[in-house]
């Protein structure tokens, strides 16, 4: 909703929605995972404040969006930092004028995807830390390939190569049709900056 408000030139509404996204809904009964940085929310708060002409506030939000690890993780565990937070970290660095740090983020995503694309992976245990309901046999090699193409798609998105990003996300969807983040970011390859 905040991205839609931003795309429709309603930055004040977008800001309210983004701040609401940072509020923890107490009725869920479980807190955020340790290490959650909300890079995407802080990035868009920076964009909103930049549009509103509040450069100092925007700078603070972009700095918050630069938090977290640069290293992407594998496909196995839900408590690892999500790879798309590295994308937003890089985008925040771009907004702050630090191209070197931004490209380091995008290159980490690309490098991981390229290096691990042909890894042989298997589900060697069952635990609550797995991201998917994996009681039934699942082809972990396919999940790994989807994850690697997804990371390469994120890298290309950050680097501004929308055609290659779209190609990588589409490839990931061949391996994992239900990869929701691929569907979200695939859409971002065809929309304006503020709808991303």
Average pLDDT over residues 20-48: 83
* pLDDT more than 70, % of the chain: 82
Instruction: Give pLDDT tens digits for 119-136.
Output: 887 655 554 445 555 555
- Residue 85 has a pLDDT of 94
* pLDDT more than 90, % of the chain: 67
Average pLDDT over residues 81-100: 95
Distances (CA, A) of 170 to 87, 121, 153, 181: 18, 22, 9, 11
Q: Which residue has the higher pLDDT, 172 or 82?
A: 172
CATH number of 105-196: 1.25.40.10
Q: What is the mean pLDDT of the chain?
A: 87
Instruction: Give pLDDT tens digits for 137-191.
Output: 567 889 999 999 999 999 999 999 999 999 999 999 999 999 999 999 999 998 7
**From CA 48, how far away is CA 46, in angstroms rounded?**
5
Residue 4 has pLDDT above 50, yes or no: yes
- Residue 8 has a pLDDT of 93
Among left, alpha and beta (phi > 0; psi -120 to 50; other), residue 71 is: beta
Residue 44 has pLDDT above 70, yes or no: yes
Q: Which residue has the higher pLDDT, 181 or 26?
A: 181
- Residue 73 has a pLDDT of 79
Report the candidate in 118, 148, 194 with the shortest Cα–Cα distance to residue 156: 148
Residue 194 has pLDDT above 50, yes or no: no
Write down the domain spans for the chain: 105-196
The answer to whether the CB of 6 falls within 8 A of the CB of 195 is yes
- Residue 192 has a pLDDT of 56
């Amino acid at each position: 909703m905040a991205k839609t408000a931003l795309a429709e030139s309603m930055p004040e509404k977008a800001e309210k929605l983004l701040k609401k996204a940072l509020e923890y809904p107490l009725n869920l009964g479980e807190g955020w995972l340790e290490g959650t940085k909300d890079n995407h929310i802080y990035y868009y708060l920076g964009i909103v404040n930049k549009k509103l002409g509040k450069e100092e506030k925007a700078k603070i939000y972009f700095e918050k969006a630069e938090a977290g690890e640069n290293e992407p993780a594998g496909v196995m565990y839900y408590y690892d930092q999500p790879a798309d937070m590295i994308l937003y970290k890089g985008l925040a660095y771009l907004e702050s004028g630090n191209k070197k740090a931004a490209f380091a983020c995008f290159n980490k995503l690309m490098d991981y995807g390229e290096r691990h694309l042909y890894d042989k992976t298997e589900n060697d245990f069952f635990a609550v830390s797995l991201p998917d309901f994996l009681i039934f046999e699942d082809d972990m090699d396919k999940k790994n390939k989807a994850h690697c193409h997804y990371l390469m798609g994120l890298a290309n998105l950050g680097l501004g190569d929308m055609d290659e990003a779209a190609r990588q996300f589409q490839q990931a969807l061949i391996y994992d049709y239900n990869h929701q983040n691929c569907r979200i970011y695939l859409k971002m390859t065809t929309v304006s900056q503020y709808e991303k």
